[in-house]
Amino acid sequence: MTIRYTNEFLDLLKKQNVKVKKSFKEAIREFSKNPNSPVLQNHNLKREWVGYRSIDITSDYRAIYKEVKLLNDVVIYFTTIGTHKELYKS
């Protein structure tokens, strides 16, 4: 498994406070060991996010990613990060 970040994701992450950045770093460490760890609450998304998945960063922050299979590897592209309200507004 290879983890990559879009430029948009990196720009959004830079704007977050220290707590969110630290929590993201811990979540990625856990994700690298076990993407399905119960701590992350990894799940498929619906509606405008069909084909993407989400992991919990804090009680309110989520990171959204897409999984792409390339030859013998799975590439994880983190595309955006934000609060539940920011990401899933209707």
- Higher-confidence residue of 89 and 8: namely 8
| Domains of the chain by residue range | 2-84
Q: What is the mean pLDDT of residues 10-29?
A: 96
CATH 3.30.2310.20 fits 2-84, yes or no: yes
What is the structure's pLDDT at 81?
97
pLDDT tens digits for 32-46? 999 999 999 999 999
Among candidate residues 75, 73, 81, 80, the one with its CA nearest the CA of residue 20: 81
Query: Average pLDDT of 45-72?
Result: 94
* CA neighbor of 35 nearest in space, from 7, 71, 9, 63: 63
For residue 90, pLDDT beyond 70: no
